[in-house]
Amino acid sequence: MPSKQEILDLQFIDARHMLINLAAFLDRVDRHHGGDDYRLEALKAALPILLSDRSDRAKVVLESFSDLSTDLPQTAPFQGASGATRPTTTPHS
């Protein structure tokens, strides 16, 4: 297994690139007109997970984007998936 140093040597630039892209994405959304969006809220809600000390951040981020409802519709009310749970299917909302 590689050391921490070796993983950083391999992937730090890529991680830095992804973080700057995310920062620029948030700036870009802010600069453009329009209202609130559940996807942006979901993205911002996931950000503090990155700063936690836990060892399963990827799992918890994925869970934070997941539909946690328990109801089963007979047929799909809409098709496609957007990556974050639409407010109508969020429990307790």
Partner 1 sequence: MRYIEPHAHMVSRTTDDYEKLALAGCEALCEPAFWAGFDRSSADGFYDYFRQLTDYEPKRAAKYGIQHYSWLCINPKEADDPGFAREVMSIIPQFLDCPTVLGIGEIGLNKNTRNELAIFEEHVQLALDRDLPILIHTPHLEDKLKGTHLILDSLASFSKLDRNKVIIDHVEEHTISHVLDAGYWAGMTLYPESKCTPSRAIDMLEIYGTDRLWMNSACDWGHSDPLAVPRCALEMKRRNHSAEQIDQVVYKNPLKFLSQSARFMPGSPKT
The values of phi and psi at residue 19, to 5°, are: -70, -40
d(CA 61, CA 58): 5
User: Of the ranges 27-35, 43-51, 53-61, which one interacts with partner 1 (CB under 8 A)?
Assistant: 53-61
User: Of the ranges 19-27, 29-37, 46-54, 56-64, which one interacts with partner 1 (CB under 8 A)?
Assistant: 56-64
Q: Residue 24 corresponds to which tokens in the numbers above?
A: 């620029």
| Contact positions vs partner 1 (CB under 8 A) | 1-2, 6-7, 10-11, 56, 58-60, 62-63, 65-70, 72-79, 81-85
